[in-house]
Amino acid sequence: QVQLVESGGGLVQAGGSQTISCVVFGGTFGRYAMGWFRQAPGKEREFVAAISWAGGIINYGDSVKGRFTISRDNAKNTVQLQMNSLKPDDTGVYYCAADRDFRPGRHLPFSQPEFDYWGQGTQVTVSS
């Protein structure tokens, strides 16, 4: 019933910026913690960022801290990832994910089993 649809990926020059988005259909978006993961060819899926119900708590993976910004708009059922100072190592398929079990006082999810719903991904390619 719950569907996540990513968009905004593409080819970006190193040092540039790109913003990708995820729209959630069904469920109760405002009561999901949301996250982004990415997967490069030949590598395991990597945690990128997560955000709580109203954006009060945000976590980032070490490799993107200071460069990426996660945000959400609960009126539009969307979560965005703004990516700045992009590097070739940022290349990969970016996946949006939702955790329906998050509650205030719990830690934000950061591992794949904590998320209940996943999108199909959007490709981000950073040229050197």
* CB-CB contact of 66 with 83 (8 Å): no
Q: State residue 107's pLDDT score.
A: 93
Q: State residue 121's pLDDT score.
A: 98
Pairing between strand 10-13 and 122-127? parallel
* CB-CB contact of 43 with 37 (8 Å): no
Q: Fill in the DSSP letter of residue 103.
A: -
Render pLDDT for 63-98 as a digit per residue (tens, 0 to 9). 999 999 999 999 999 999 999 999 999 999 999 999
Which token pair is 32?
């999901």
Q: State residue 42's pLDDT score.
A: 93
List of the chain residues with pLDDT < 70: none
